[in-house]
Structure 1
Amino acid sequence: MSSELLHNGPALWRQLATGDEDAFRSLFHAYTPSLYASALQVVKQEETAREIVQETFLKVWLNREALAYMDNPSGWLYRVASNLAISQLRKQATEHKWMHSQPFDNTTTNDVLETISFREARQLLHQAIEALPPKRKLIFQLSRQEELSHAEIAAQLNMSQNTVKNQIVLASKFVENYIQKHAGTYLPLFLLLMKKYF
């Protein structure tokens, strides 16, 4: 853990509790390398380890208000990641019928693990994007998924940058509201849309 995080960590957790996405980003980028390494040691599969990190930070966002009152929120973070890794092993064990040979302890954060999954959230994101009007959908995808600038999108679609910006704002609000309505909670779009986590 960096000295900067040690110094600013408590403040970042408090800011996160208010829904501050910048604080969430800072915590995400600070903890992702070590969480990924820990998960990879357990599950031995890179893609699965990435999914565990994504799932862990989804739980962080969903439980952000409670985290501000914890004495050791980073410890909670690692327990969630550990339980997710163990749950993945349990799933693999069930599939390969050697579950009873593994002494799993999955009791510490069951309440957390029962909330919406990252895959469910991504599915809702896909559904929300598909529900956008065609032109707005294209602009949103070029911006958030292809990571083109407003100027690049405007040039490609022969429209003004202001129009592009307005369409992205409208699309983002629709997608956020759609996910909030169906998931029962607000989720930061950047977590669901980022293609490069590591």
Structure 2
Amino acid sequence: MLPQSLSDHTLLSLLREGDEQAFRALYDRYWYKMYVIAHRKLRRKEVAEELAQELFVMLWQKRDSLRVINLPAFLGVSLRNLMIDYIRRHMQEEHYLDQLRQFFPDEGFATIEAVQLNELTEALQQALAQLPDKTREVFILNRFEHLTIREIAQRLNLSEKAIEYHLSRSTGFLRRNLRDFAAAWVLFYLL
């Protein structure tokens, strides 16, 4: 029987056993729905894609311990939590920028933003250089050339699952490394 025709309950049972086809069937069944919900709430395509992707990475990583009765409800609640975390982080960043604007005149702040952009670009390039070649290539194709997972898979002759893995790995790595950079920059200007 094809995995697409199986019930959520059956697919979840197979997923707990590490069945990648079951995961793929669940991903195909629910990813777009989760993306649409996130996009409707946040109105940012890239963020909605990233959060929907994070949701399924979490589903795969926690597959052994999942005891889900209603998968759509579980995914909806988990996505809501990811969106809340994103909004909190975003609001915190906006708060820091508002605080900085109070200390610097508008024309001075434009200079500071230009310096910050240059420093961030340099930090991003250094962080990207630390990634394995294939992971870096997948990230650049997705984030800078705006190719979809399917387009990257075709171009690099890899599975879509492999592309998703590389994207998850690169965004997690960059998020951890650039978070420290951004926090240090904010602290420097607030002190």
TM-score by length of 2: 0.51
Q: Percent identity?
A: 26
Query: 2 CA distance for matches of 1:58 and 1:148?
Result: 22
Q: CA–CA distance in 1 between the matches of 2:41 and 2:19?
A: 31
**Cα deviation per residue 1:135-162 (whole Å; 9 max; x = unaligned)?**
xxxxxxxx9572449xxxxxxxxxxxxx
Q: Which has the higher helix share?
A: 2
Tell which has more relative contact order, 1 or 2 (C-alpha 8 A, sep 6+). 1
Please, what is the CA RMSD of the aligned residues?
Answer: 3.4
- How many Å separate the matches in 1 of 2:157 and 2:18? 27
Which residue of the other structure, out of 83, 86, 90, is the alignment partner of 2:84?
86
- TM-score after normalising by structure 1: 0.50
- Partner in structure 1 of residue 35 of structure 2: 36
Return the alpha-carbon distance in structure 2 between the equivalents of residues 192 and 145 of structure 1: 15
Q: Does 1:192 align with 2:162?
A: no
Report how far residue 12 of structure 1 moved. Answer: 0.5
> Do the aligned residues in 2 keep the contact of 1:144 with 1:193 (CA within 8 Å)?
no
- Tell me whether 1:8 sits opposite 2:17 in the alignment: no
Structure 1 gaps of 5+ residues are 99-122, 132-142, 150-171, 173-187
Task: Give deviations 1:107-142, integer Å, cap 9, x for gaps.
Answer: xxxxxxxxxxxxxxxx89x834469xxxxxxxxxxx
What is residue 27 of structure 1 aligned with on the other side?
Answer: 26
Unaligned runs of 5+ in 2: 97-126, 136-151, 168-191
How many residue pairs match? The answer is 117
2:30 maps to a residue whose letter is Y
Residues 8 and 71, structure 2, Cα contact 8 Å, conserved in 1: no
Distance across 2 between alignment mates of 1:148 and 1:6 = 27
Matches within 5 A, 1:144-183: 146-148=155-157
